[in-house]
Amino acid sequence: MMKNLGKRVAAFLLCLIVVTIGIYSKPVLSSRNKPVRDIDYSINDLRVKPTSIPYHELNSTGLSRLIGMTEKEVLAKFPEAKKKWTSTLGVQWYVVGTDLKNAFEFGIKDHVVSDVFAIGTDIDTEPFKIGMTLADISEITTVFSNFTVEYGDQSYQLELTEEDMNYRPIVAFNNNSFANLHINQETGELIAVRYLDKRSLLEMFANQVMNSSLINDELELIGNWDLVDRDNLEHFKYLMRLLSQRDKHHSFYEVSAMSHQADVSLDSFVTDPSKVLKGSRLEAWKNIEKQEDAIESFSFNPDETKKITELGNLDKKSSVYFYYPIFDVPSLIVSFYGNRFYHEQLVSEHSQKMGVSFNKTKLLVVLSPEEKNKATTESSEINE
């Protein structure tokens, strides 16, 4: 009896051991079939990257409060403001202050302030300040990549690129205005603050919202392109003067002869694009001109730049830049001046001769180092 009981206990214990081993060995065995997870030891880039976090609005402060003011109200507030230029998109620009400390300008459209552009170091751009870095800005507010803009009876989705977020981020205020913060790619410092209403924001970022109807509507209203071209040229020279003054070791001269040569080059291209473009490049340009979409950009490659240089007998040593499309001079200037690609030449130790030509939404800029000991009586210095 006791012998049978002992056998049963031994059998039970043996079964228990087998079952236990089977249960606890299963996860170990199965884990061998799973790929080993790679551990990411890389250091995250500290640059700001796009996210889907909904943006929030800051309380309106400083110059952002001008957005939405009537023409009568803002001129009463700044009686010293002088009307200077009409832009491609129909904004009437008024200048307040003309030096590095107090320079800013506001734009009026349909009798309401739609834009403000500040580059003066002492201007009230709170909570931001000229000279700030992106890190400084990030301490004030999160840099958002996605914005939903309700305008008219439509809703627009604006999504910034990584480059936008790092060099021209957008901040929203609670008075339906926005600030576009322009950061110099070379120095990493804030060089200008652009305040915009909803329509101006959508026009400035038409590529991102994939809608050019607002811009096309404005272009159709232009009755005097010669006036717009002249105003764009004067606006360009004025802002280049102010920004170049920050680099005290050099200056710019707008040389009438060079500008005339630039006019000849650009007019020749506009009249007959085949003088510069060939094959698929020519077809691409023709398609851009034919279609109603006015926001697709176009620039010249080195060979095309050489050809347009020859059309106006420009100095072969000159640097030539073609831009299309151009709708807004302030955004053009800060993009041009703040771009790492151009910055080295713009802050050259030598003075720069400059030729500039606007033709509707096209721009040709020619830069050439000034020859030593050469008189500049033929030139009109931009910082005069």
From residue 330, how far is each of 24, 31, 148 by CA, in Å?
A: 71, 61, 24
pLDDT at 354: 85
pLDDT at 380: 46
Phi-psi region of 152 (alpha: psi -120 to 50; beta: other; left: phi over 0): left
CA-CA-CA-CA dihedral for 243, 245, 251, 253, to nearest 10:
60
From residue 279, how far is each of 274, 275, 285 by CA, in Å?
A: 9, 12, 10
CA-based nearest residue to 63, from 7, 17, 105:
105
Are residues 185 and 168 in contact, defined by beta-carbon separation less than 8 angstroms? Answer: no
Token duo for residue 236: 């360009």
Q: What is the DSSP letter of 339?
A: -
**Residue labelled with tokens 């989705």:** 157
Instruction: Tell me the pLDDT tens digit for each residue of 43-100.
Output: 233 344 444 456 789 999 999 999 999 999 999 999 999 998 999 999 999 999 888 8
What is the assigned CATH class of domain 57-221?
alpha beta
Local mean pLDDT, 10-residue blocks, the chain (384 residues)? 51 51 44 39 39 73 97 96 92 91 95 96 93 93 88 88 90 95 89 95 82 72 90 92 70 78 96 97 89 75 94 88 92 78 55 86 86 48 46
In sequence order, the β-bridge partners of residue 171 are 179
d(CA 186, CA 339): 7
From residue 207, how far is each of 68, 96, 360, 361 by CA, in Å?
A: 25, 31, 19, 15
pLDDT at 371: 65
Three-state secondary structure readout of 233-248: HHHHHHHHHHHHCCCC
- Amino acid at the residue 203: E
In sequence order, the β-bridge partners of residue 93 are 85, 107
Are residues 195 and 179 in contact, defined by beta-carbon separation less than 8 angstroms? Answer: yes
Instruction: Tell me the pLDDT tens digit for each residue of 134-152.
Output: 999 999 998 888 898 989 8
Angle between helices 225-244 and 329-338 (to 10 degrees): 40
- Non-local CB neighbours of 21 within 8 Å, separated by 6+ positions: none
Strands 190-196, 178-183: pairing kind: antiparallel
- Give the pTM: 0.79
Asked if CATH classification 3.40.33 holds for the domain at 225-381, the reply, yes or no, is yes
CA 87 to chain centroid, in Å, comes to 18
Strands 170-173, 57-58: pairing kind: parallel
DSSP states of 259-313 as a string?
HHHHHHHHHHHHH-GGGT--HHHHHHHHHHHHSS---------HHHHHHHHHHTT
All CATH 3.40.33.10 domain ranges in the chain, comma separated: 57-221
